[in-house]
Amino acid sequence: MIKINRIGTDANRTGDAQKTGMNAQDMELPFIYDLSLDALRRWLADQGEPAYRADQLYDWLYVKRADDFSAMTNLPKALRERLAQSFRFVALEEIDRLTSADGTVKFLFRLHDGHAIETVLMKHDYGNSVCVTTQVGCRIGCTFCASTLGGLKRNLTAGEITAQVVKCQKMLDAIGDRVDSIVVMGIGEPFENYDNLMTFLRTVTHEKGLNIGARHITVSTSGIVPNIYRFADEKTQINLAISIHAPNDALRSRLMPVNRRYPFRDVMDALKYYWEKTRRRVTFEYALIGGVNDRPEHAEELADVLLSSGIRCHVNLIPVNYVPERNYVRTPREDVFRFQRILLGKGINATIRREQGADIAAACGQLRARHEALLKP
């Protein structure tokens, strides 16, 4: 691990606005990134501004990526002042940044109300990918996941999700590079924060803003069935991944309590609907846990279920990341390959997730969990 920056941890304390450049009054204001382009248009129209001002403002926010309203020199001074009185600009303060030997960068951000979230920037041969967080904590309770340990504190706003991408993009701006793809696979269950998720997705894909291609974005869900149907009806080209982790109801319920609310078969039915509606390939995420869900019979059963569903799919095998609070062990390497071979043998496309940032606790919730533990008296 190469640690390149650690900003004083005393800036972490809740309410310590001075050190983060936010004053108490600013913190009460709505965050400017929370507004969609349409909402900005409406606000500006209410101010009596001509329609083209919204495009100018949007360009400053997401293309020029200004840090302050005062930088927006083609907007009249009076408007800039009104904006500054009406909206907050700062939403995320970087409180930690870890860089892995493989180039993965993990940010720990502090929100205006003191909570900490994580964002990961990964470098692949196909470009830069950002993994965003959608909630402070999580209430889904998957038994292998660190994000859920402290429960759910709150949803992120749309702007707080967008700001994570902008922060990464600004880091890349310095080297003339760009964010090519986004995975909504950080802390939280995106389909439990559905409306903010959709506003975020519209903002980052907007051609007048960050303009990240919908087909380069993947949303991962633990299986919130009603919102899988809703998402299928959205008419976007955004990809869907499902955290399946087991080939049947009984085992899935053991690993993921959410399966008792939305059982395996209902999840598969919703995914069938998604596939029929969108004709987009579904990714099935499967964390391999030693001796629990990694036996050859599990691979056989998974292959059969997927084949009979008729869904065009891809299985992403993830050797489980060790979480100190849980006692799951990793599947031995050769058993991971065996699992993959069985799927491939049955005609199911399956890859093994390349590990990135293992040296910096880049897996879901690990850094935040450590941070919270440090803050405990």
Interface residues toward ligand SAH, by CB under 6 A: 140, 142, 144-145, 185, 189, 220-222, 243, 285, 287, 318, 320-321, 323, 363-364
Instruction: Specify the residue, 129 or 221, whose C-beta has the smaller distance to ligand SAH.
Output: 221
Identify whether the C-beta of residue 46 lies closer than 8 Å to the C-beta of residue 131. Answer: no
To the nearest 10 degrees (0 to 180), the angle between helices 296-309 and 264-278 is: 40
Report the 3 state secondary structure along 314-346. EEEEEECCCCCCCCCCECCHHHHHHHHHHHHHC
Catalytic residue among 49, 118, 192, 285: 118
Does the annotation mark 93 as catalytic?
Answer: no
CA proximity to 247, closest of 302, 311, 300, 307: 302
Nearest approach, Cβ of residue 278 and ligand SAH (Å): 18
Helix (H) or strand (E) holding 123: strand 116-124
Catalytic residue among 145, 168, 313, 364: 364
Nearest approach, Cβ of residue 366 and ligand SAH (Å): 8
Instruction: Specify the residue, 93 or 192, whose C-beta has the smaller distance to ligand SAH.
Output: 192
Instruction: Specify the residue, 90 or 364, whose C-beta has the smaller distance to ligand SAH.
Output: 364
Residue with tokens 């891809």: 314
Nearest approach, Cβ of residue 144 and ligand SAH (Å): 5
Instruction: Specify the residue, 60 or 274, whose C-beta has the smaller distance to ligand SAH.
Output: 274
**What are the C-alpha distances in Å from 215 to residues 183, 218, 223, 272?**
11, 8, 21, 19
Does the annotation mark 276 as catalytic?
Answer: no
Nearest approach, Cβ of residue 236 and ligand SAH (Å): 18
Nearest approach, Cβ of residue 364 and ligand SAH (Å): 5
CA distance 95 to 6: 7
DSSP line for 40-99:
HHHHHHHTT--THHHHHHHHHHHTS--SSGGG-TTS-HHHHHHHHHH-B----EEEEEEE
Instruction: Specify the residue, 72 or 136, whose C-beta has the smaller distance to ligand SAH.
Output: 136
Known catalytic residues? 118, 364
